[in-house]
A = this chain, B = another copy of it.
Amino acid sequence: MTQDPTKYKESECDVLIVGAGPAGMMAARVLANYQRQQPDLKIRIIDKRSTKIFTGQADGLQSRTLECMQNLGIAQKILAESNELYTIALYNPDENGIIRRTDRIPDTMPGISRFHQCVLHQGRIERHLIDSTLETSNGRIKIERPIITEDMEIDESAVEDPDAYPITVTLRYLGEEESTPLQFGHKVENGLYRSVSMMDAEDEDAQYKLPEGAEPGMIEKVKCKYVIGCDGGHSWVRRKLGIEMVGEQTDYIWGVLDAIPHTNFPDIRSRCAIHSAESGSVMIIPREKDLVRFYVQLQERAIPGQRVDRSKYTPDVVLEAARKIMAPYTLDITNLEWFTAYHIGQRVAHIFGKDDRVFIAGDACHTHSPKAGQGMNASMMDTWNLCWKLGMVLTGRANRNLLSTYQTERQPFAQALIDFDHKFSRLFSGRPAKDVADEMGVNMEEFKSAFIKSGKFASGTAIDYNESVAVAKTGDPKLNKVKSKPELAKNIGVGTRLQSERVIRHAEGLVTEVQDLLVSNGAFRIFVFAGKANQPEQMARLNKFAEYLDSADSVVSRYTPAGRKRDFIFDVITIHSNSREEIEMQDFPAPALYPKWDYKKIYADCEDWHIGHPRAYEKYGIDPVKGCVVVVRPDGYVALVTDLESTKDLDAYFDGFMQAPKKAVGAQTEPDWTAKGLYKKTTEAAKADRASATAA
């Protein structure tokens, strides 16, 4: 039976991503790394909206998210457009009930990250992810819209077969009317309003346009290996899996305005938490382009179990409430960009998918109040976590057992986030205590203390993933066969993201952030902290370690596919603690640690003319003589810390989830092409050099 191909078709794909918001786009971007390496991978991303979002919605980017964006190569573009947040100002009523600034605290706690929290509207963040995905995938991964999911069936008998396509998803292509979000200058009944001023007229996603060959109403049945539901708080995928959201709602109602304020309030360009005596609270978030976001607590309360009628909360209602809270300061606005009203609730799913075949991510599995700026970040970090694992499995590099760590790593974090938000939003919405005896009020010292303590959590840098096949902490026979030696790197938390310190590139002295070496390309990093490599006994240890790497038995030789460079999956990076005069790049064992014509693999923790001594060993808590080995996952999280002798730990860690290619690259032998000895200087002469250069 032939059918009209504009009405019905069937297809196969490796991954179907449902929803092209931040979680979905991050999934597409990370999977693009693998699609670039293996162009026959078929990754699709669909969205039910006919155009992307141009204003409003989630906007805060936390430090950790920016670190990841940096590894994706787009942090600088985002920072150039965003507004970085520096100060939090706290305002509370004084003895006469007039609000006063009582404190200023840093918005990003010093020392947490080199990136400060910033704000940029969601449409621009999506735009950078879309562009980067297109570029990385050579144009192959492109959002298809407007398309909705109508059915999904899982063939349970095939879920453990890595070559099977056990999920069948039915898609329907939408017409223009049923899909266009009301966002351009419309004033709609539920209080949602969006202006055109922030719309990028050049944006190719600004117009309704079905994929080529499709017509409105067309049905497509897609057989998928994997499905990721990034389809928001009302997730169709989640509901189809029968997964429930657990949690509760408060009765607090908040309004939100994005506008340019005219005010004599002195901290209008700081993030502010303003508690008035009787009129509720305001949070101020200064944004890009002179905009400011106001979160305004409204005096009405929601009725439990009932949806809030947002049509009542016009911009005038919200502005008037803000004026009362911020009095005696004056407040007017121009350039209203967006407004909405919402009802605080915290809900989380206990299960993040099914059969390690269908996953849910982002708002589909956790929703909470927007004021702490967590939602979009947690959403993107969900798929940042999931998709390197999925990429490894899809390319045959890892077994499916790696996938279960998505649930064990992200669900506990989501729960912690919900608990954090539950506490934080209640402190925020509460009336300030009048005095010590006022037990119904919120103690403002407690509020401040919570704010400060929340800094690290809110930055996203505190995440510490549990023991698993992907994280070797104390060892657990059920999960893995290896344990870390954390005493070798006292300040590197196994399970946490590798914090950035600065080191000096040996070849030319470039000051380099260690995190900048964690380019998101699907590779693990094996950091060889080589210690004092100019000491013969330490060099002997390094030679032994290098012999392992070059041997046929090493993880590099066994798991790297034939025909690929040896740094394709395992990027070995050496950081020594000598000066650049005490040792030469060519002294390091070649080719294992110093591959031919590659000047970007060896770094020194040594004095620099411009920044002084970066003291990376000290900051990481690593012995400067003996060093250690640190394995970092493709997502930047520390998997294993061990010593140079324990190459069996490397074997055990990677053997726990990796899969050998049909033909591996094998042992590496290469004649000595370096020029050892030619450039040797005495240590005394080297010292004199440095002294004379520094004196100059």
Q: List 14 A-B contacts (CB under 8 A).
A: A85-B508, A87-B509, A103-B693, A104-B580, A104-B581, A104-B690, A116-B610, A264-B586, A264-B674, A265-B675, A267-B508, A268-B599, A269-B599, A270-B508
For A464, list chain B residues within 8 Å (CB).
Answer: none
Cβ contact within 8 Å between B585 and A103: no
Chain B nearest CB from A268 CB (Å) reads 7
A678 within 8 A of B: yes
Known A-B contacts A264-B674, A599-B269; the reply to A679 vs B101 at CB < 8 A is: yes
A38 within 8 A of B: no
Q: Tell me the nearest residue of chain B to A610, going by C-beta.
A: B110
For A674, list chain B residues within 8 Å (CB).
Answer: 264
A59 within 8 A of B: no
Which residues of chain A from 663 to 686 have any CB-CB distance to chain B below 8 Å in the complex? 673-675, 678-679, 681
Cβ contact within 8 Å between A106 and B609: yes
Digit string of A226-265 for contact with B (CB within 8 Å is 1, else 0)?
0000000000000000000000000000000000101011
Known A-B contacts A105-B696, A106-B693, A689-B103; the reply to A673 vs B264 at CB < 8 A is: yes
Q: Tell me the nearest residue of chain B to A260, going by C-beta.
A: B597
Known A-B contacts A105-B693, A689-B102; the reply to A86 vs B265 at CB < 8 A is: no
For A693, list chain B residues within 8 Å (CB).
Answer: 103-106
- Beyond contacts A106-B693, A328-B675: 9 other A-B pairs, Cβ-Cβ < 8 A, are A86-B509, A86-B511, A100-B679, A104-B581, A262-B597, A264-B675, A266-B585, A266-B679, A269-B507
Find A329's partner among B76, B267, B678 (CB 8 Å cutoff): B678
Bound CA span A101–B696, Å: 18
Chain B nearest CB from A225 CB (Å) reads 36
Copies in the complex: 2
Bound CA span A329–B584, Å: 14
Q: Tell me the nearest residue of chain B to A455, going by C-beta.
A: B696
Known A-B contacts A269-B508, A270-B509, A610-B106; the reply to A101 vs B681 at CB < 8 A is: yes
For A599, list chain B residues within 8 Å (CB).
Answer: 268-269
Cβ contact within 8 Å between B266 and A586: yes
Chain B nearest CB from A505 CB (Å) reads 8
A571 within 8 A of B: no
For A609, list chain B residues within 8 Å (CB).
Answer: 106, 110
For A76, list chain B residues within 8 Å (CB).
Answer: 76, 80
Find A87's partner among B80, B100, B330, B508 (CB 8 Å cutoff): B508
User: Which 4 interchain pairs have the tightest Cβ spacing?
Assistant: A264-B675, A86-B509, A269-B507, A106-B609
Most chain B beta carbons < 10 A, residue from A86, A511, A674: A86
Digit string of A438-481 for contact with B (CB within 8 Å is 1, else 0)?
00000000000000100000000000000000000000000000
Chain B nearest CB from A42 CB (Å) reads 28
Find A584's partner among B102, B266, B286, B696 (CB 8 Å cutoff): B266
Which residues of chain A from 72 to 103 have any CB-CB distance to chain B below 8 Å in the complex? 76, 80, 84-87, 100-103
Q: Tell me the nearest residue of chain B to A453, going by C-beta.
A: B696
For A106, list chain B residues within 8 Å (CB).
Answer: 509, 609-610, 693
Cβ contact within 8 Å between B508 and A104: no
Bound CA span A262–B511, Å: 24
Find A507's partner among B270, B328, B330, B585 (CB 8 Å cutoff): B270
Chain B nearest CB from A520 CB (Å) reads 17
Digit string of A571-584 for contact with B (CB within 8 Å is 1, else 0)?
00000000011001
For A675, list chain B residues within 8 Å (CB).
Answer: 264-266, 328-330
Cβ contact within 8 Å between A510 and B86: yes
Bound CA span A511–B265, Å: 21
Q: Tell me the nearest residue of chain B to A107, going by C-beta.
A: B509
Chain B nearest CB from A248 CB (Å) reads 31
A692 within 8 A of B: yes
For A678, list chain B residues within 8 Å (CB).
Answer: 264, 328-329
Which residues of chain A from 263 to 280 have any CB-CB distance to chain B below 8 Å in the complex? 264-270
Digit string of A315-336 for contact with B (CB within 8 Å is 1, else 0)?
0000000000000111000000
Digit string of A593-632 for contact with B (CB within 8 Å is 1, else 0)?
0000101000000000110000000000000000000000
Known A-B contacts A76-B80, A508-B269, A508-B286; the reply to A104 vs B689 at CB < 8 A is: yes
